[in-house]
Amino acid sequence: FAELDEVEKYVGGSWDSVRGLLGGKGANLAEMVRIGVPVPDGFIITTEACNEYLSLGEQLPEGLWEQLLTSLKKIEASTGKSFGDPKNPLLLSCRSGAKFSMPGMMDTVLNIGMNDETVEGLIESTGDPKVAYDLYRRLIQMFGSVVMHIPDEKFEEIITRMRLKAGVKSDTELTADHWMAITEEFKNVFRFHTHHHFPTEPYAQLQMATEAVFMSWNGKRAIDYRNAAGISHDLGTAVNIVAMVYGNLGDDSGTGVALTRSGTTGEKHIEGDYLTNAQGEDVVAGIRMTKDLSDLAKEMPQVHAEFERVAVLLENHYRDMQDVEFTIEKGKLWMLQTRDGKRTSQAAVRIAVDMAEEGLISKEEALMRVTPELLDFFFHPQFDRQPTTGEAVGAKLLAKGLNVSPGAAVGVVALDADLAELWGKKEGKKVIMVRPETRPDDVHGMLAAQGIVTSRGGRTSHAALVARQFGKPAVVGVDDMDIDLTRRQITVGDKVIKEGDFISVDGTTGEVFLGEVPTRDPDVKDRWLLKLLSWADEYRTLGVWANSDYPVDASRAREYGAEGIGLCRTEHMFMEAERLPLVQKMILAEMEVQRSEAIKALLPYQREDFAGLFRVMDGLPVVIRLIDPPLHEFLPNQTALMKELADLKIQLQHAPNLEAIDDLLEQVRNKEHVLERVEVLREDNPMLGLRGVRLGNHFPELTRMQVRAIIEAACLVSRDGGDVRPEIMIPLTSHCNELKVQRQLLETEARKVMEEQGFEINYKFGTMIEIPRAALTADKLAEYAEFFSFGTNDLTQTTYAISRDDAESGFLIEYMVRGILPENPFETIDRDGVGELMRIAVDKGRKTNPDIKLGICGEHGGEAKSIALCHMLGLNYVSCSPFRVPLARLAAARAAI
């Protein structure tokens, strides 16, 4: 371990290559020695030796054994003990350690070197035959199970039987004679299972253990793990040979594991478990009740003080929280392993911030240590979970689906949007909306619900996207769930949940639970989180805006740090209960006057909406997109209409009197009319149909009304002293003439309103870039637009010619599973295609207008990798759902560092 400098010279210096050669465990043992942490003597057989051994067909490479003996001599010299010496025996541990920590490989054999002779020497040196035989039986047990794959129960059974026979409860009460007898029985177990005697020759033990570590690199579990984790198969494992220190020499000895700071909260105090008078893995094995490390301060105060000194040494060196394994031998502390510790999101944030404030790391490093996804945790309630098993406390699992929107939610089942809204909004109940799948006209129910569950659909289904947009926990594609909309109940296997019964949903894990599971609110005012985000703001150059349609969302977005609204979708406002009939009337109108009337009736609603947003976003820009979806989305479903019509006709045949006939006839005529319009509006490809700017050009009245609502609202709020900055955005433009026409229309109307109101409003006019042609002709569009906003959802759809709504439950999943597509392009922007179109649009747009403002408002605007791309392309801002604003602030800072 003391020759790390030479290793560094050999591999050329970098810590990564040192780890590659020595494995993580070995490299850190050597590093600890170098910085003065007490570590027992030892040496490392390199990963190169392992690879050589395997390529030679499981043959020790030439010279390896001689080198091993030379190293062993050095340990003998420094410890003053000899391997195999019956008087003063040296014992060794043989431990695997690859570059990356890897379950599935052979782990550790302790006490190598024990046999019938050396046991006598140990009785001599420890003065305690009980300790000596305990060490001996442990070697046979570990060697047997780890090297020879004898089931460990075979050994444990014998100990249990011995305890019963001796009439004692715990292992520690067994005497030397008991352990001696157990040792003999262990030898028999070994012979029975391997048909060989236990190898009593110390060097044979060492060689067999070493080769077993080498071979375990190619064990099935290890290979499976590497495949799953994407670790290369040619790294090989190192073997650490370490002089034993003894934690089982009495009450001033012990063994344990610890974190240098809390892995749960990040608090700065050492946290751990230990056992006195125990060895190695007794702590993890859970054989005895462990003690809390704080007890060590009372039991062995000097050891505890030494521990604190070592913890500081390690943290100062590794500049991160460490996870250590240690043993205390007669009041002396030995460290046996260190590595960066695992932690919760909350602890990750706190540790990064604390360490930066302590001057251990820089602010940049603190920002780089917290991955943006970790922040999700802070913005959603959670179920309490068992730290070890991860099971939700007090919960009964009902079914599992896809975890598409994180957080925990509890409520009563509502099987349709109207009921969800009634219960949620009007009656103030907590509701979980459960549907086979969702559609745009389900949004009001989803908004009123705590959480959403669907039995069909994938990660980019409507339900998933809307849920993420509004930060509602959601689980979709719960296949096992059978939703019966007529009997108003859900069945999963033999369990029946009636509408109105409680369920609980964890969108972080994809679990659905029976009944009410208790939740805990996260702390968004967490001091460390706020600090980290304030640092992020110092470093980022990208603006972070939010997509919000309602004032409540906008004010949340502001609270989370949004610097503007990058997308307000006006059509959501059309969906609300009182307005939908007006919208339908507008669509169904046969005569221009009727249409104008309906549109005018919508005006006050829209004006109210916008005024609300402007008030909340005082002093900040608000991008309002004019209506986008094809009109048929606002009309009732065609099949439902046909069914209703058929019902009416049946009723007509059984009508009791003339009056009823008249009434029914009227209804039939109405239905037929609606159905006719639905048929007229029906498009084979609505995604490529009459929508976006095409609607505004088709019904100029609609554009005029929306512009009027925006400018009137702006005047209203300005008059009250508000600082209003509206930006009007045209969706789905593909040709610059579309913009030209809309701009003329819009400017005329805006001018008219301002004159009426006697007020001047400073507004901007811009367009979305969501069609390849728009990106390719951005120089021409920039002649009419003061800003571009990349609508990357549609830009991805139109670039790939993939329908997002359909693809994910179908071939897109298959594509990703088979690796035909490396990533879901609807989650992370496809750099080579969509990203390239964006780059062209940025270049061309800026060429025409160097001051053009560029942003993104697709869902990608809240995803870390896509945010990095936007930074690279030099956009001015990203806009995402309010809940992802903090994440975007961090991601933008990391992109800038």
Give catalytic residue positions.
Answer: 462, 857
Reading the block at residue 411, the tokens are 């409520």
Please report whether residue 824 would count as binding Mg ion according to CB under 5 A. Answer: no
549 is in an annotated binding site: no
486 is in an annotated binding site: no
How far is it, in rounded angstroms, from Cα 804 to Cα 874?
27
Closest Cα to residue 86, out of 246, 202, 251? 202
Closest Cα to residue 50, out of 213, 205, 233, 242? 213
What's the min distance (Å) between Cβ of 282 and ligand ADP?
8
Q: Mask: binding to Mg ion, 321-350, rule CB under 5 A, as x and -?
A: ----x-----------x-------------
Pick between residue 40 and residue 855 the one whose CB is nearest to ligand ADP: 40
**Partner whose binding site includes residue 110, from Mg ion, ligand ADP, none (CB under 5 to 8 Å by kind):** ligand ADP
> 894 near 372, Cβ under 8 Å?
yes
Number of residues lying near Mg ion (CB under 5 A): 3
Pick between residue 131 and residue 573 the one whose CB is nearest to ligand ADP: 131
What's the min distance (Å) between Cβ of 111 and ligand ADP?
9
* Residue 276, CA distances (Å) to 38, 176, 264, 306 in order: 19, 18, 25, 17
Pick between residue 245 and residue 474 the one whose CB is nearest to ligand ADP: 245
Contact footprint for ligand ADP (CB under 6 A): 40, 93, 95, 107-108, 110, 242-245, 255, 280-281, 325, 327, 336-337
Reading the block at residue 254, the tokens are 């012990």
320: Cα separation from own chain's centroid: 22
How far is it, in rounded angstroms, from Cα 708 to Cα 702?
10
* SS3 letters across 375-398: HHHHHCCEECECCCCCCECCCEEE
Please return the burial class of 316, using the count of CB atoms within 10 Å of its CB with bins 0-12, 13-18 and 19+: exposed
Residues in the chain, total: 897
Site for Mg ion in 103-122 (CB under 5 A): 107
Pick between residue 289 and residue 817 the one whose CB is nearest to ligand ADP: 289
**Partner whose binding site includes residue 40, from Mg ion, ligand ADP, none (CB under 5 to 8 Å by kind):** ligand ADP
Amino acid of residue 788: F
16 is in an annotated binding site: no
Reading the block at residue 65, the tokens are 């054994």
Pick between residue 108 and residue 547 the one whose CB is nearest to ligand ADP: 108
Helix (H, G, I), strand (E, B) or coil at 621: strand
**Partner whose binding site includes residue 260, from ligand ADP, Mg ion, none (CB under 5 to 8 Å by kind):** none
Residues 6+ apart with CB under 8 A from 420: 414, 431, 433, 445, 446, 448, 449
> 852 near 789, Cβ under 8 Å?
no
Q: Cα angle at 184 between 180 and 185, to 5 degrees?
A: 115
Amino acid of residue 185: E
How far is it, in rounded angstroms, from Cα 345 to Cα 581?
47
**At 64, phi and psi to the nearest 5?**
-60, -45
> 789 near 766, Cβ under 8 Å?
yes
Pick between residue 138 and residue 708 the one whose CB is nearest to ligand ADP: 138
**Partner whose binding site includes residue 95, from Mg ion, ligand ADP, none (CB under 5 to 8 Å by kind):** ligand ADP
- Which residue bears the tokens 């992109």? 895
What's the min distance (Å) between Cβ of 275 and ligand ADP?
10
The residues facing 582 across adjacent strands are none
The stretch near Mg ion (CB under 5 A) out of 100-108, 254-262, 352-360, 499-507 is 100-108
792 is in an annotated binding site: yes
The stretch near Mg ion (CB under 5 A) out of 319-327, 391-399, 671-679, 847-855 is 319-327
**Partner whose binding site includes residue 255, from ligand ADP, Mg ion, none (CB under 5 to 8 Å by kind):** ligand ADP
How far is it, in rounded angstroms, from Cα 290 to Cα 281?
12
What's the min distance (Å) between Cβ of 25 and ligand ADP?
6
What's the min distance (Å) between Cβ of 255 and Mg ion?
11
How far is it, in rounded angstroms, from Cα 154 to Cα 168?
20
How many CA atoms, within 13 angstroms, populate the side-chain half-sphere of residue 106? 32
Pick between residue 256 and residue 862 the one whose CB is nearest to ligand ADP: 256
**Partner whose binding site includes residue 830, from ligand ADP, Mg ion, none (CB under 5 to 8 Å by kind):** none
What's the min distance (Å) between Cβ of 241 and ligand ADP?
9
What's the min distance (Å) between Cβ of 229 and ligand ADP?
16
Reading the block at residue 333, the tokens are 């502390």
What's the min distance (Å) between Cβ of 240 and ligand ADP?
7
> 541 in the Ramachandran plot: left (φ > 0), alpha (ψ -120 to 50) or beta?
alpha
Pick between residue 288 and residue 579 the one whose CB is nearest to Mg ion: 288
How many CA atoms, within 13 angstroms, populate the side-chain half-sphere of residue 33? 17
How far is it, in rounded angstroms, from Cα 561 to Cα 535?
13
**Partner whose binding site includes residue 280, from ligand ADP, Mg ion, none (CB under 5 to 8 Å by kind):** ligand ADP
- Which residue bears the tokens 């025996």? 89
Pick between residue 113 and residue 473 the one whose CB is nearest to ligand ADP: 113
Pick between residue 150 and residue 243 the one whose CB is nearest to ligand ADP: 243
**Partner whose binding site includes residue 93, from ligand ADP, Mg ion, none (CB under 5 to 8 Å by kind):** ligand ADP
**Partner whose binding site includes residue 403, from ligand ADP, Mg ion, none (CB under 5 to 8 Å by kind):** none
What's the min distance (Å) between Cβ of 282 and Mg ion?
12
* SS3 letters across 284-326: HHCCCCCEEHHHHHHHCHHHHHHHHHHHHHHHHHHCCCEEEEE
For 407-440, give the DSSP string: SEEEEEEESSHHHHHIIIIIS---EEEEESS--G
Number of other residues whose CB lies within 10 A of the CB of residue 783: 12
- For helices 64-79 and 202-216, give the axis angle rounded to 10 degrees: 120
540 is in an annotated binding site: no
791 is in an annotated binding site: yes
848 is in an annotated binding site: no
How many CA atoms, within 13 angstroms, populate the side-chain half-sphere of residue 815? 13
What's the min distance (Å) between Cβ of 171 and ligand ADP?
17
What's the min distance (Å) between Cβ of 249 and ligand ADP?
11
Pick between residue 146 and residue 583 the one whose CB is nearest to ligand ADP: 146
**Partner whose binding site includes residue 893, from Mg ion, ligand ADP, none (CB under 5 to 8 Å by kind):** none
Q: Cα angle at 607 between 602 and 610, to 5 degrees?
A: 125
How far is it, in rounded angstroms, from Cα 505 to Cα 474?
7
Residues within the annotated binding site for Mg(2+)?
770, 794
Residues within the annotated binding site for substrate?
569, 625, 770, 791-794
Q: Which residues bind Mg ion (CB under 5 A)?
A: 107, 325, 337
Residues within the annotated binding site?
569, 625, 770, 791-794
